[in-house]
Homo-oligomer: A and B are copies of this chain.
């Protein structure tokens, strides 16, 4: 599972997907055009990232008690094809580092079962302590397979 970002997305290097999770479009997620509203893809992507972190033994609440928060600093989302009511789809998640404090989540959405590409996303996160970006720490990076 190797990804090549296309021209409109910036990441050019190959990134392996480490995680995948399935969804079903619910009717209330669709708008007047009969397709999933653009903002709802960000909800899907957030849920997939959180599932991925949990699968790696990373707990937001434990990090928070330790004074470390993970926040999203930038979202880039390319809408390739719309999802409709009751479509099944999966979100694949890969990660890489960007500089010292940023972690980039590469997330693609594919319709099931035909594998139609729906969305390419690149979500940049940062670890913060007291609201300031900090090095996420070797323990966190190790759990993410980034060291």
User: Are the CB atoms of A32 and B72 closer together than 8 Å?
Assistant: no
Q: Tell me whether A55 is interfacial, beta carbon within 8 Å.
A: no
Shortest CB-to-CB span from A38 to chain B, Å, is 5
CB neighbours (8 Å) of A54 from chain B are: 86
Q: Tell me whether A27 is interfacial, beta carbon within 8 Å.
A: yes
How many angstroms between the C-alpha atoms of A47 and B25 in the bound complex?
10
Interface residue count for A (Cβ, 8 Å)?
Answer: 31
Q: Tell me whether A31 is interfacial, beta carbon within 8 Å.
A: yes
A126 nearest CB neighbor, chain B only: B79
Q: Tell me whether A56 is interfacial, beta carbon within 8 Å.
A: no
Partner of A76, one of B27, B39, B69, B74: B74
Q: Tell me whether A4 is interfacial, beta carbon within 8 Å.
A: no
A-B contact pairs, 19 of them (CB 8 A): A27-B46, A28-B39, A28-B43, A28-B46, A31-B31, A31-B32, A32-B34, A33-B69, A37-B46, A38-B42, A38-B46, A39-B39, A39-B40, A39-B43, A42-B42, A54-B86, A71-B79, A73-B79, A75-B79
The list of the 6 closest CB pairs from A to B, nearest first, reads: A39-B42, A26-B47, A75-B77, A39-B43, A39-B39, A30-B32
Contacts A32-B85, A39-B42, A72-B79 known; 4 new A-B pairs at CB < 8 A: A28-B43, A30-B31, A75-B75, A75-B77
A interface vs B, CB < 8 Å?
A: 8, 26-28, 30-34, 37-40, 42-43, 46-47, 50, 54, 69, 71-79, 85-86
